[in-house]
Amino acid sequence: MNSLILRTIAPVLVSLMVLFSIFVLLRGHNEPGGGFIGGLIAVAALSIYGIAFGVGAVRRALRFHPATIAGAGLMLATLSGLVSALFGAPFMTGLWVTPVIFGTEIPLATVMSFDIGVYLVVVGAIGAVALSLEEEEDDA
Nearer to another protein, 13 or 67 (CB): 67
- Residue-wise burial string across 76-107, b where 16 or more C-beta atoms lie within 10 A, e elsewhere: bbeebbebbeeeeeeebeeeeeeeeeeeeeee
**Residue 64 DSSP label:** S
Q: Please report how close the Cβ of residue 124 comes to another protein at its closest, in angstroms.
A: 7
Nearer to another protein, 7 or 65 (CB): 65
Q: Please report how close the Cβ of residue 140 comes to another protein at its closest, in angstroms.
A: 7
Q: Please report how close the Cβ of residue 20 comes to another protein at its closest, in angstroms.
A: 11
* Cβ atoms of residues 134 and 61 within 8 Å: no
Q: CB-hemisphere CA count at 13 Å for 104?
A: 4
Nearer to another protein, 15 or 96 (CB): 96
Q: Please report how close the Cβ of residue 113 comes to another protein at its closest, in angstroms.
A: 10
Strands (E), 16-129: 96-97, 100-101, 104-105, 108-109
Q: Please report how close the Cβ of residue 52 comes to another protein at its closest, in angstroms.
A: 14
Where does this chain bind another protein (CB under 8 A)?
Answer: 24, 28-37, 40-41, 43-44, 47, 67, 70-71, 73-74, 77-78, 81, 91-92, 94, 96, 107, 109, 111, 114-115, 117-118, 121-122, 124-126, 128-130, 132-134, 136-137, 140
Helix-, strand-, coil-residue percentages of the chain, each rounded to 5 = 75, 5, 20
Nearer to another protein, 22 or 109 (CB): 109
